Amino acid sequence: MRPGRPDQHRTPRPTAETSAGRFVQFGVVDYSLDETLDSGQAFRWQRGPTGWEGVVARRWLRLWRRVDSFMAETAEPQTDWRWLIDYLQLEDDLPVILADFPDDPPLRAAIQAARGLRLLRQEPWECLASFILSATKQIVQIRQIVELLCARFGDPIPALTGDGVVRAFPTPERLAACSEAELRACKAGFRAPRLLAAARAVAGGGLDLETLAALPLAEARARLMALDGVGRKIADCVLLFAGGFREVFPIDVWVLRALHELYFPTQRPKPAELRRFSETHFGPQAGYAQQYLFHYLRVHQRRRPSDRTATLPSEGNAGPRRQRSPREPSEGVSPASVGSAPSADSED
């Protein structure tokens, strides 16, 4: 069992009357769909009038919450819901995971604010491609680029919305056959050749994403970082959100800022010092802790710029930086100060 994976599980069981067909009910508590699906992990979820709608495992899906459970609906009947249980990580025992967190005031506040936030277990290719497209983009822009790619190059799948059809995320084989100009037409910009190179590496067998989860962390990270345009940030996002490496603590400028403001408010630590702190402080569930801190700063602790007094120094420069909205990427941070993260930040 890899470090970071909880030893105890609580398996939610579909109710007998709804387990076969288009509907399923999961009797799971401590699960917030709002906090989880809007936390910057995945980019295809949309909040609709009757719940959250997205595409998982090439199936259109709607999710909505009940008091002590939540419901899932698909466009076509299902006989096995394992794909959804795995994606939503429903077998994780959240109290056990949270009990592994360091008992410190910032994490206590983040847990209270984002109660029920979970990590997802995404399909590796979609996760990798999405984070390649995230460079220097805000989350809303990443979603727009991903939707354009799906609309132009994804296979049609049945849905109970709009005209009855949505598009799956394009396969690496489909994108590998595209020209760079076609990808740029989806607003991919300078990310287009990076996405194209990754698609060709996966489609051609040069990178087997399905085997990464079984590799040692350092080796899995190195294979991802061998791709053009994939640095530590993107690699760690894929390892955490698609590979199950819970010990990974992705760091971008906003996670650095969270560490600085929440843990060292009266000091001016360098980013390298903050990274070393993250590697020793957060324990086997470090990735889970990171997501809580990131989401807490990005959403729950948003304040006017004039209310913030702490500044984030870049490597070798302890001077103040212009304060940004938590949804605005920082494009001027040196590569040494940005490691990895689930937000939209520059990566080389």
Given a cut of 80, is residue 95 above it in pLDDT? yes
Spell out where the chain has E strands. 21-26, 46-48, 51-56, 59-65, 70-78, 156-158, 165-167
CA neighbor of 250 nearest in space, from 122, 344, 342, 157: 342
Residue type, 17: E
The rounded mean pLDDT for the chain is 84
Nearest to 195 by CA among 142, 253, 250, 240: 142
| CB atoms near residue 133 (< 10 Å) | 27
Give the pLDDT confidence of 132-181 residue by residue, as tens digits: 999 888 889 999 999 999 999 999 999 998 899 999 999 999 999 999 99
Q: Is residue 201 part of a domain?
A: yes
What pLDDT does residue 14 have? Answer: 54
Among residues 119, 117, 121, 122, which one has the least CA distance to residue 32? 117
In a domain, residue 237? The reply is no
- pLDDT greater than 80 at residue 310: no
| 7-46 pLDDT, tens digit each | 444 555 555 344 568 999 999 889 999 999 999 999 999 9
User: Does 273 map to a domain?
Assistant: no
| Predicted pLDDT of residue 257 | 87
Mean pLDDT of 295-311: 56
Q: Is 174 part of a structural domain of the chain?
A: yes
Question: Phi first, then psi: what are they for 314, rounded to 5°?
Answer: -90, 165
Residue 156's domain comprises: 124-229
Whichever domain contains 187, its CATH number is 1.10.340.30
Supply the pTM of this predicted model: 0.83
In sequence order, what are the residues at sequence separation of 6 or more whose Cβ sits closer than 8 angstroms to the Cβ of residue 248?
Answer: 4, 217, 236, 239, 240, 286, 287, 340
Domain assignment present for residue 208? The answer is yes
| pLDDT tops 90 at residue 333 | no
Let me know if residue 169 belongs to a domain: yes
How many separate domains does the chain show?
Answer: 1
- Check residue 315 and give its pLDDT: 27
Instruction: In whole angstroms, give the CA distance from residue 330 to residue 344.
Output: 9
